[in-house]
Amino acid sequence: GQQLNQSPQSMFIQEGEDVSMNCTSSSIFNTWLWYKQEPGEGPVLLIALYKAGELTSNGRLTAQFGITRKDSFLNISASIPSDVGIYFCAGQNKRGNNDMRFGAGTRLTVKP
């Protein structure tokens, strides 16, 4: 099946710094989504992208759907301690097919 390559695997940053992570695929996706998962909980949807080139913000988070449809990035500005968690990208590429493919996740640690 299609693989999503997510990088970096982990990040250790200082509070206040900006963060950038990305996902690439060898195949095209029609929808890109970004989720955050904290210990003991399920993934929570952060941003959904539906159109190539789309740039969407949610507070301090900004995500873009790559023009080629094969990549997406997520930026977090002015990080705070509660940003700690694992961030996953996910892609969907078939109408009516709820088979999402996930990246392996980026584990974010924020030092106060």
Partner 1 sequence: KAGVTQTPRYLIKTRGQQVTLSCSPISGHRSVSWYQQTPGQGLQFLFEYFSETQRNKGNFPGRFSGRQFSNSRSEMNVSTLELGDSALYLCASSLTGNLGQPQHFGDGTRLSIL
Q: Which amino acid is at 22?
A: N
| Nearest alpha-carbon partner for 106 in 6, 2, 4, 5 | 6
Candidates 7, 52, 62, 101: give the one binding partner 1 (CB under 8 A).
101
Candidates 79, 85, 103, 110: give the one binding partner 1 (CB under 8 A).
103
Candidates 76, 105, 106, 110: give the one binding partner 1 (CB under 8 A).
105
Cα R_g (the chain), whole angstroms? 13
| Interaction of residue 60 with partner 1, rule CB under 8 A | no
Q: Interacting stretch for partner 1, rule CB under 8 A, among 16-24, 30-38, 53-61, 70-78?
A: 30-38
Rounded to whole angstroms, the Cα distance separating 4 from 8 reads 12
